[in-house]
Structure 1
Amino acid sequence: MDPLSSVASLASSYSASNLAADYSMAVTRMAMDDAQELAAQELERMLPPSPYTFDVYA
């Protein structure tokens, strides 16, 4: 194997590993965003309604 093809092979595998890592990070972020939104909805559902009302036109 000549040096040029080994460099090209290394660059290709590096690019593929970067793509896999970026994809994995994006999937993890989407899952975390979904979990955070679900947690906020559950917290909002558990809290009692606020006894205060605000008149924004005053």
Structure 2
Amino acid sequence: MELYRLFEFTKLSVNLHVLRLTLNMVHVTILVVPVKVLSRLLVLFKNSAFAVAGAG
């Protein structure tokens, strides 16, 4: 009986660990993607601003 309980507990903790890892990955993705997009937009904006300044 104790062994079964231990097994259930282990299963639960493994599931929680996997869930936490998944959430961390999702969180990192949510944080990283906008930053990448923003930096790319900034570079584009800077390049076009320089082009306009150069033309002017």
TM-score by length of 1: 0.78
Alpha-carbon distance, 1:30 to partner: 1.3
RMSD: 1.7
The runs of at least 4 consecutive aligned structure 1 residues that moved more than 3 Å come to none
Matched, 1:9 2:12: no
Q: Sequence identity of aligned pairs in percent? A: 10
CA deviation string 1:18-51 (max 9, x = no partner): 10110011010111101100001100110035xx
Unaligned runs of 5+ in 2: 52-56
**Following the alignment from structure 2 to structure 1, what is the Cα–Cα distance between the partners of residues 30 and 43?**
20
Q: How many residues align?
A: 50
Unaligned runs of 5+ in 1: 50-58
